[in-house]
Amino acid sequence: MSKFTKGFLLVLSSPSGGGKTTVVNKLLKIHPEFVLSVSATTRPPRKKEKNGVDYFFLSDSEFDRRIDYGDFVEWAWVYNYRYGTLKSLIEKGLSEDKVILLNTDVQGAESIKNAYPNSTVRVFILPPSKEELERRLRNRGSDSLESIETRLQNSLKEVQKALKFDYLVINHDLRKCVALVEKIILVELYRPYRVAPLEGWEFD
């Protein structure tokens, strides 16, 4: 890949219930020119989730087949199910100079950074407090009690990795959080290697 890549991968990670899905959806509304990397998963759909929109919901055998074909940039087990980032969507977005939004766990963010070191920006979204994280998880109403406990424990582990990210945004208020992530994206578009190909200048 050329050293000049205008588009990039904006990977958002947060503990479960941290608000990353809402942030991604709001950003896509404000910036329809951004694209979403829809992940594949073996998790069954929740109410209101649509195949191909929220995730590609795959059977275990289909997921295995995709792994064998090398279709994933990365994949990981999260809470007994597998989740994977599809290479085809990423490659298409980058070749079209798009800002691509991804929503992955911390291990996914690390793997994507390793796969696309110059084209990955990682943002960690942190709820304002442990208590608030727990409240949001319980109020979500989409998980069983046992799953909430597991997610809470895992979330606290994920938070330990927050300082390794490129940016850290505290989600006190959704509107402000979206505005901050939007600013990060706009600033990242002004990295020299993202601007240079537009200018028609020659660079060594």
Query: What residues line the site for ligand 5GP (CB under 6 A)?
Result: 16, 39, 43, 74, 76, 78, 83-85, 103-105, 107-108
Least gap, CB of 122 to ligand 5GP (angstroms): 12
Rounded Cα distance, 9 and 90, in Å:
8
Q: Which is closer to ligand 5GP, CB of 67 or CB of 187?
A: 67
Convert 27-94 into a string of H (helix), E (strand) and C (coil).
HHHHCCCCEECCCEECCCCCCCCCECCCEEECCHHHHHHHHHCCCEEEEEEECCEEEEEEHHHHHHHH
Least gap, CB of 62 to ligand 5GP (angstroms): 15
* Closest to 28 (Cα-Cα) out of 191, 178, 184: 178
Residue number with the shortest CB distance to ligand 5GP? 108
Least gap, CB of 91 to ligand 5GP (angstroms): 15
Q: Which is closer to ligand 5GP, CB of 85 or CB of 119?
A: 85
Q: Which is closer to ligand 5GP, CB of 5 or CB of 103?
A: 103
Contact (CB, 8 A) for 17 and 155: yes
Contact (CB, 8 A) for 14 and 108: no
Q: Which is closer to ligand 5GP, CB of 31 or CB of 43?
A: 43
Q: Which is closer to ligand 5GP, CB of 8 or CB of 75?
A: 75
Least gap, CB of 175 to ligand 5GP (angstroms): 22
Rounded Cα distance, 104 and 117, in Å:
16
* Residues in CB range of 103: below 8 A, 6 or more apart: 11, 12, 13, 20, 21, 24, 39
Contact (CB, 8 A) for 112 and 104: yes
Q: Which is closer to ligand 5GP, CB of 116 or CB of 194?
A: 116
Least gap, CB of 22 to ligand 5GP (angstroms): 12
Least gap, CB of 193 to ligand 5GP (angstroms): 26
